């Protein structure tokens, strides 16, 4: 399943990149996205799939560089055998800032921020992400990212595929 997800994500990017002719306009833009997520590392022992939604604001200084801020919600579904043992799904609210480097319709975007746990007794962890993507059209943004959380010696993360609708304003 993980290999199929990663192949699908890579396929979206390559198809989008082959047709991408869109460059982002200078100024502000807003996007609304959904993310399918595959937990990696030790986190994959707890959950096999996650789903999230986010809002992102970007200010494009020119065609190549932008500052971004984003907020959203990610839910990771506990594996069924763990649910039977009383474990619950876990939720996080990631708040991140980043810098997007674009070349034509392709881009890379490192981000850093905080992930706030929404479950009872949840805490806040450092979050970091690296994202590569493509503007497939003037409104369609496709990207793949790795996002990790770190608190004390616990590190969790996921690989996600984000599909977003983008609107300049």
- Chain segment 112-135, per-residue pLDDT in tens: 999 999 998 889 999 999 999 999
**Is the pLDDT at 103 greater than 60, yes or no?**
yes
- Chain segment 58-71, per-residue pLDDT in tens: 999 999 999 999 99
- Residue 86's closest CA among 94, 95, 96, 78? 78
Q: What percent of the chain shows pLDDT beyond 70?
A: 87
Confidence of residue 104 (pLDDT cuts 50, 70, 90): confident
CATH of domain 2-168: 2.40.160.20
Tokens of residue 132, six digits: 């590569």
User: Could you give the 3-state DSSP secondary structure of residue 18?
Assistant: helix
Long-range CB pairs of 48-51, under 8 A, 24+ apart, other chains included = 48/1, 48/77, 48/79, 49/76, 49/77, 50/74, 50/75, 50/76, 50/77, 50/158, 50/160, 51/75, 51/77
| Measured CA distances, 37 to 5, 34, 58, 86 (Å) | 9, 10, 23, 23
- How far is residue 15's CA from residue 155's CA, in Å, rounded to a whole number? 33
| pTM tops 0.75 | yes
**Is the pLDDT at 33 greater than 60, yes or no?**
yes
Q: What is the pLDDT of residue 7?
A: 52
Q: Are 91 and 123 in contact (CB under 8 A)?
A: no
């Amino acid at each position: 399943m993980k290999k199929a997800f990663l192949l699908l994500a890579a396929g979206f990017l390559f198809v989008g990149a082959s047709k991408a002719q869109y460059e982002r306009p200078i100024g502000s833009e807003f996007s609304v996205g959904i993310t399918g997520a595959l937990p990696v590392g030790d986190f994959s022992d707890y959950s096999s799939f996650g789903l999230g939604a986010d809002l992102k604001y970007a200010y494009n200084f020119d065609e190549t560089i932008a500052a971004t801020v984003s907020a959203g919600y990610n839910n990771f579904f506990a594996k069924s055998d763990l649910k039977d043992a009383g474990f619950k799904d876990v939720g996080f609210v990631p708040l991140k800032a980043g810098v997007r480097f674009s070349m034509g319709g392709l881009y890379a975007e490192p981000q850093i921020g905080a992930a706030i746990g929404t479950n009872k007794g949840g805490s806040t962890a450092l979050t970091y992400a690296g994202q590569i993507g493509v503007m497939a059209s003037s409104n369609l943004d496709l990207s793949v990212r790795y996002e990790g959380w770190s608190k004390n010696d616990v590190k969790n993360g996921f690989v996600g595929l984000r599909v977003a609708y983008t609107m300049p304003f």
